[in-house]
Structure 1
Amino acid sequence: MSFSHAGNPSIVFYSALPSKNIKFIITHSGDWKNSGVWNESVVVPGAQMSHPDIAYNDSDVPLVSSCGSAFKLIFSYCNGSLWKNQKASGSCYLYTSVAVNPVTKMPAIAYYAGSSDKKLYYTEFDGFTWSWGRCVHKEGGYGKSCSLAFNSSGYPGIAYIQDKTGDLWYAWYSGSSWNRMCVDDVSPYKKVPDVSLAYNRSGCPGISYYDGRNGYPGDLKFAFCRDVSPGLWDIENVYSDSDSGIYNSLEFDPVLDMPCIAFYKEEGTSTASGGSLYYCKKGFSPDSNFSYDVYPGDDSIFVSFSDKTFSQIHVNGYHWDFGDNTTYDGRNPPVHHYKYAGEYIVSLNTTNLFGCDKIVKNITINPFSLFFKDKTRGNAPLTVNFADKSLGMPSVWNLSFGDGEYYNTTGFFPERLSHLYKKAGIYDVSLLTDRDGLSDLKICENAVTADLNTSFDTSILSGKAPLTVSFNDTTKGEPESFRWSIDGIYISDEKNFTYTFALPGLYNVTLNASTGPLSCLCSVKVTVNENSSSKIKRPVRDYADTDASSDGYHGIRENEENKMNKSIVYAYDLNAGDIVSFNFSKGSIKKLSVAVRRHIEKIMFEVESGKKPQENYIRRLSPVYEYENISMKWSPESSLVAASVRFDVNKSWLKRYEKNGENVIFKIYNSKRGVWSGLPVETDGCNDDLCSYSARIPKFSYFAISVEKNTLYMPSNTTDLKAFSDKVKGSNAKRNYAAPYGVSG
């Protein structure tokens, strides 16, 4: 059976009397008419006792497949009032099924064929010829009573019977291969029954078939899968009176999308008694379902409901009950507002032409914990005001401030709750709310940052050398660690400390207080003025490695070491407060000045030019003018308050790397860490050949006179450029010339 585009049912069948013909009948009204030339016609005369099938193409032309004489597969179509027949395959055994591909608009046929081991095949028309038949089920005996149909995507499906066991099978094409599954065990009692496959508008397959597993009489059944990809099948009896449905055909009504079945029913107790042709249809009541999404709103909890009802035909009635004494009639209601958190029973009742269905769901709506704070960051001690903005009318609140303190209350939350963060830090704030056992936890990470506010007091900010100053921390926020430095040189990690400035100058004292990842700097300037001779216990004394004096305070050691770029000076009987200078004639360091902290019986300094430390790995450094190694002997470095050096750099070397001599740096080597660090340098002036610089040194170690990286100076005028080029091309160019950092070759 098939419907024309006008909605008229038509049937093709095998008629044994008065001759073996394939016949076609159609009705144009509510009554079946099988007499008269205009509504009955012969499609294939002299055919085998086969199982024909019918379909309509887009032009509303009926198409018929059947098994003709000599077991040939015959394809027939009507071009008005006459039927045309053509051979689609050279082999066919009784069972055929025809359908039109909705995508290509071309017909295709499923058929049962073979010599001794018969199988299920599929062929399609390309507009000119029929394709070579493709085997769908390779095992023999599978394919009787085959029924072919296409889904809306143009993929074919076939329902068929297994000959020996009588099982009902379904095969479908996925785009690359055929897939198969068993639908039901029908176990026919007498004959191989008809099966019929059709798809509804959603692409879900339905199959009508005869079930003879319980013997005579058998039942007409209908199997329906609600998924496009076959899974579970819903199976129900359609007709159980007498022996019904051994021959049947299924289609879905194109208007109502409901299954319609034409079937043969025996009227007696055996097949010899004869029978009649019947037509039945069924509509499905809707299968109600819905989904929902809960989220916070402005002043209440919002729930968005979406209808997910399944129905083969139009649903003409929706009724929602939200469980809070409110209802709505319509498919998808507007967002619903729940003021209170709790358990709600929500129902949806749907109706179509064939019945109604109701679904009930229990919905749990928890409160939403929300809070407001008027500050997110500030200096400790920091006061932050909190306000509750929770939804769902909670009755219990537990607010954790993140610093170990909590606020718990029941029944009422204050309009404004103030909390003081005494200690600097980054705090996570959380709020737990509850109503009738339903709770929600809101955690805000890094919600409040209380910063350190570093400060310190000094006993005095200016005075004459030697100047002793006490530094006392007054930082707010309870810092955990301290780092004091003077002119960038680390001095102490104590909370408070005292320091004596022995040499005149302007000093920058900095405190870096920290706690966890937070830190804060504070700096002051300390001015140390030069003292008169009356304020110094012993006058400033200068010593030189070339002096030959024997006044008991100094001397030099004349030996082979002095011939190797090493200068040695020493002195005796130095008192606290003395400022002593040592002058050198070799190397770039010309003067070393120290301030004495306490009495020193004897002291010696060695300055070795050109010697660099033994580093564990090669590092790319800035160009180095000269390495210097300064060491102190006979007395510990703690006996000195401060030390500084003055050194000279040749102008011709400076001219290679920078123009004004402003980028010179004095580096000190840290042997424990294996790194070089730059020290502050002051320019003392230049003459025709040399530029002089001075630097304060925190300890005695290896030093390097260098320039900043990437400061290669290129002359701008032609004369200087030529002289520069000639110097580079000279014999000493490779030894003396250093390329800027990052340039090789």
Structure 2
Amino acid sequence: MNHSWNAGTGDVTDSYNVSYNETWLNGTINSFNHTGLSAHAWSNITVYAYNATDSTISLGASDNVQIQNNAVSVLNVTDITVSEGDNVTFDINSTDADGDTPVFDCNNSALFDTFNTSTGEGLWITDLTDAGTYYVEFDVSDGYGSVDYQVMTITINEVITLPVANFSANTVTGYAPLSVQFTDNSGNNPTAWFWDFGDDTNSSQQNPTHTYSATGTYNVCLSASNLAGSNISSNMAITVTAAPSSGSSHSGGSGSSGKQVIREADESNESEESTGDDNAEGKSTKHIESVNFETNSGGETLNDVTVWSSEETAYLSISTGTKVTDASGGSVNSIRIVDIPVSDIPEMEDAMTLHAYECTPDGTTFSPAIHLTFALSEEEWEQYGESAKVGWYNDDTGEWEIIQGTADASTRTITIQASHFSTYALFGDNNGELTGTQDTGSQGGMSMSWLWILLLLAIVGGAGYCITQINKKE
């Protein structure tokens, strides 16, 4: 550190006395170079002017100067790329001409399992949820006001592992036709699915609904795939059995007698509900369009329930112990069956739509399946009879799926099993012809023709007889 001075304009001095660190230097020099100073050290001197003529010495003039600080620089901040499950390790360094002790820091130290602010070393043990790009600012300071920083980009790539195929179904047994909702539960993020339903049909949807029309046992499996490959699940057996005969307790309402479950009276003031003989007494009427019912903690119905459409051309029958579930898996305590205009639904090829119904809430499923019964008029039964078909509309495929029903000529009804709610319709064959009743009508028409002929002959014969008798009298 070099110090220099002078006596000032017009002043005369014979020598200077310099004091530094309690050491005196005397002479005529007007500068002093203080060497050997360490980083951040102070160089302190006091200078006195001496006049030998009158032996006087001036007041001292002091100068205190600190060595200038050298800036610190952060080093070894380089971008890092690893995969999920790998370790991110780093060792941040610094350089400083003064040799100061660095202190390291970053703006997101919470990411790291360890981070040493003295050495700049750090560790991040990643797992399978850490995929992404992270920007971390590292800085270093020397304690004397100098700070330097750099940004490190840490990229953690997602690890794609082989899927583990797994699935569930909302039911594994039921009457034909049985509609089953399958749900994909595969692990390790599959991106493609292939379902083998065991009846020579398949699907590539993630969560398909499939209807089994014929009885039998079907082994279902799922192949789940992603970029790492594919994995096949174990088989699930779906058992489909034949529907009960039309005389069973499910074909006409609740109970073995087939009597209907009833609701509060619409026009009377009766509020109580009854079944069986009470219904014959006219104490109340049927449930129309909607019905509320009670369930236990497991979502199973506590009573048999039947509800009719407003036109009373179809009704839903739910047996005691049926589990009724909404689309999210919760319990359902109210259902509706609403007549809808046949013009509002998609047409079926080579078929005439006779009746259509919307069953709600949407997404409701039943285990075991409930019964949907269509009540045909006498005219409809004569023309279509047991050839009438029932279908539900599959929104995924945009097509009607036919359900095999049980026809009962004595009640003019067709009953199907429904494991889920949808739009249902009753279709008649466009080529349907009148059955026996029509033939009977033709024979009746022919008989009437013969009667008229006989009557005419009788009239003619009677007239002839009268004329003959008159002629005889004349």
Q: Do Structure 1 and Structure 2 share a fold, with TM-score over 0.5?
A: no
Which TM class, normalised by the smaller chain length?
Answer: 0.3 to 0.5
Which structure's residues are more often helix, by fraction? Answer: 2
**Relative contact order, CA 8 A, sep 6+: which one is greater?**
2
TM-score, length-scaled by structure 2: 0.33
TM-score, length-scaled by structure 1: 0.23
